[in-house]
Amino acid sequence: MASQLNAGMSKKVAGIRLWEIIGITIGGLIMIILSILLYLCLTARKKSRRTTNNIPLSQIPSISKEIREIRVDQISQIGYGSYPDGVLEKIKEKDSDKLLVHPNIEKIQTGENKSHSGPFTRAEKDSIGSPMGDKPSSHPITAPSPLSGLPEFSRLGWGHWFTLRDLEVATDRFAKQNVIGEGGYGIVYRGELINGTPVAIKRLLNNLGQAEKEFRVEVEAIGHVRHKNLVRLLGYCIEGTHRLLVYEYVNNGNLEQWLHGAMRQHGNLTWDARMKVLIGTAKALAYLHEAIEPKVVHRDIKSSNILIDDEFNAKVSDFGLAKLLGAGKTHIATRVMGTFGYVAPEYANSGLLNEKSDVYSFGVVLLESITGRDPVDYARPQNEVNLVDWLKTMVGNRRAEEVVDPNMDNRPSTRALKRALLTALRCVDPDSEKRPKMGQVARMLESEEYPVPREDRRHRRSQAGENESPRLSV
């Protein structure tokens, strides 16, 4: 049988053995089948991609099961425990201030100020009263989230995680014409997300780990907090050595530009507009100092870091130098950082930092807004170079009316001017213990009862003695 089979297979058809024909046929069939399968796979993949790209934004779920976006009108309960393995270690340093993580935190909402759960909690009400002066609102905020319509994903447990490609598209590959600010920390670009939301994107410079430090500081300081007078941090990008932060875009310049720079071409700020910006700034600092734990010391309060929106609301920005001050700590020792002219004297001399350093810096900004002068101006006569010293001299010589910015169209009333000057002088008191808290500062600027009546001041002086700062007569 075997010999007959071999003989049959060895027969030639058109000069080719039969077994060779069978082998070629089988091989051809296999190749055809494989080609068909490959074609079907490629066709299915293309269809899948087209389907994914064509999904309307409205069909993308607004809240994923794993990650919840932190919106203005809601407070999530995601803390630092939400970090995936390895990410927290990346953004922490050995000498960094430790966050106080509270495992059981309730949602808290008071007026326009909302604290995020996790490492930040509202302080005891009895200790701070109502520093922001805002009344609770029964109407929820219904403004749409700037992140609505974006696929939701987060690596840090809050906000939105953007890829480097996302931010390249938003800024036209970080084009020079989109640069809106730059400094030692990095470059800020104006961008537009795929859902049309304008944003400010800070690209941190990777100088010997500085980008990592700046990234960590800003995330810890304001990544979890919400206040209408704080610039909102929407998200971030962690990709290779790249560290980028994505903020809401505030499109009406900053206080420095309105007082001294490019925005003056649009007109001079009125007294009421200046006070609105300053009161908003005071409330934001009161929130950081008195309403969350650990408290946040900004460390670089100056007019250029106070952004202004279309309605002239203040938006405090740039937390790259911020420090966290935990419960029970009166101060922290740190390298002196900040901007010349705004730094508190005790901090400059000793490196000991607490929230009273921010109070001093705010006082300088308040004087800057009243007078229209730079904190330090070497173009002026020697006795007028330092704004704080010059103003104390003017007040001591009863020439307070002469310090008002001459470019202001309508002068403030005498009472309003004295109220602002008294508040500023208390903020820049050389004795940090005598400076008020920012919650008190906000109330002083808002109150029509300040300065206090003459008889009340006499009673206080008899009890506490004369203050070192010059006083105004009312």
User: pLDDT, tens digit, for every residue of 284-311?
Assistant: 999 999 998 889 999 999 999 999 999 9
331 and 441 inside one domain:
yes
97 and 116 inside one domain:
yes
Residue 255 φ then ψ, to 5°? -60, -40
153 and 11 inside one domain:
no
- In one-letter notation, the amino acid at residue 307 is L
- In one-letter notation, the amino acid at residue 352 is L
Domain end: 248, 267, 294, which one?
A: 248
Q: The domain spanning residue 457 has which CATH number?
A: 1.10.510.10
User: Is 70 a domain residue?
Assistant: no
What is the maximum alpha-carbon separation in the chain?
Answer: 132
User: Is 71 a domain residue?
Assistant: no
Pull the structure tokens for residue 163: 């890829």
User: Is 336 a domain residue?
Assistant: yes
Sign of the four-CA dihedral 202, 206, 207, 210: positive
Q: The domain spanning residue 152 has which CATH number?
A: 3.30.200.20
Residue 82, classed as helix, strand or coil, is helix
User: Is 69 a domain residue?
Assistant: no
458: pLDDT strictly greater than 70: no
Q: Is 283 annotated as a binding residue?
A: no
Neighbours of 374 (CB within 10 A): 17
pLDDT at site 140: 39
How much is the CA Rg of the chain, to the nearest whole Å?
32
Query: Distance (Å, rounded) from C-alpha 113 to C-alpha 463?
Result: 36
Tell me the mean pLDDT in the region 99-116.
33
Query: Distance (Å, rounded) from C-alpha 449 to C-alpha 21?
Result: 108
264 and 229 inside one domain:
no
Residue among 338, 330, 322, 359 at smallest CA distance from 223: 322
- Strands 160-161 and 233-239 turn out to be parallel
pLDDT at site 120: 40
186 and 317 inside one domain:
no
336 touches 306 (CB < 8 A): no
Pull the structure tokens for residue 126: 């009895």
90 and 224 inside one domain:
yes
284 and 404 inside one domain:
yes
**What is the length of the chain?**
474
Q: Active-site residue among 300, 318, 358, 405? A: 300
pLDDT at site 48: 56
User: Is 470 a domain residue?
Assistant: no
Whether omega before 294 lies within 30 degrees of 0, making that bond cis, reads yes
Enclosing H/E stretch for 56: none
54 touches 46 (CB < 8 A): no
The model's pLDDT over 378-425, given as tens digits with 9 standing for 90+, comes to 999 999 999 999 999 999 999 999 999 999 988 999 999 999 999 999
272: Cβ contacts below 8 Å, ≥ 6 apart: none
Enclosing H/E stretch for 420: helix 414-427
235 and 270 inside one domain:
no
Pull the structure tokens for residue 400: 């307070």
Question: Exposed (0-12), middle (13-18) or buried (19+): which is 312, by Cβ within 10 Å?
Answer: middle
For the chain, the domain total comes to 3
Given phi > 0 = left and psi -120 to 50 = alpha, else beta, which region is 200?
beta
User: Is 432 a domain residue?
Assistant: yes
User: Is 56 a domain residue?
Assistant: no
The DSSP code sequence of 96-126 is SPPP---SS---EEETTEEE-SSS-BPPPHH
How far is the CA of 262 from the CAs of 267, 269, 452, in angstroms? 10, 13, 38
Domain end: 248, 265, 289, which one?
A: 248
362 touches 281 (CB < 8 A): yes
126 catalytic residue (yes or no)? no
Query: Distance (Å, rounded) from C-alpha 257 to C-alpha 275?
Result: 16
pLDDT at site 459: 54
If you average pLDDT over every residue of the chain, what do you get?
75
235 and 262 inside one domain:
no
Tell me the mean pLDDT in the region 8-25.
71
190 and 103 inside one domain:
yes
The DSSP code sequence of 132-191 is T-PPP-SSPP-PPPTTTTSPP--SSSSSEEPPHHHHHHHTTTT-GGGEEEEETTEEEEEE
Residue among 365, 340, 356 at smallest CA distance from 348: 340
Tell me the mean pLDDT in the region 108-134.
39
Enclosing H/E stretch for 89: helix 87-91
- Strands 332-333 and 186-192 turn out to be unpaired
Pull the structure tokens for residue 186: 């990095």
pTM over 0.75: no
The model's pLDDT over 154-182, given as tens digits with 9 standing for 90+, comes to 555 566 889 999 999 999 999 999 998 88
Q: Which residue has the tokens 């995601």?
A: 78
240: pLDDT strictly greater than 70: yes
The model's pLDDT over 59-107, given as tens digits with 9 standing for 90+, comes to 333 323 232 332 333 333 333 333 334 433 433 433 333 323 233 323 3
Domain end: 248, 278, 296, which one?
A: 248
Query: Distance (Å, rounded) from C-alpha 204 to C-alpha 128?
Result: 36
pLDDT at site 45: 72
Tell me the mean pLDDT in the region 336-351.
90
Sign of the four-CA dihedral 448, 453, 454, 458: negative
Domain that holds residue 12: 2-51
76 touches 68 (CB < 8 A): yes
363 and 410 inside one domain:
yes
294 and 392 inside one domain:
yes
User: Is 289 a domain residue?
Assistant: yes
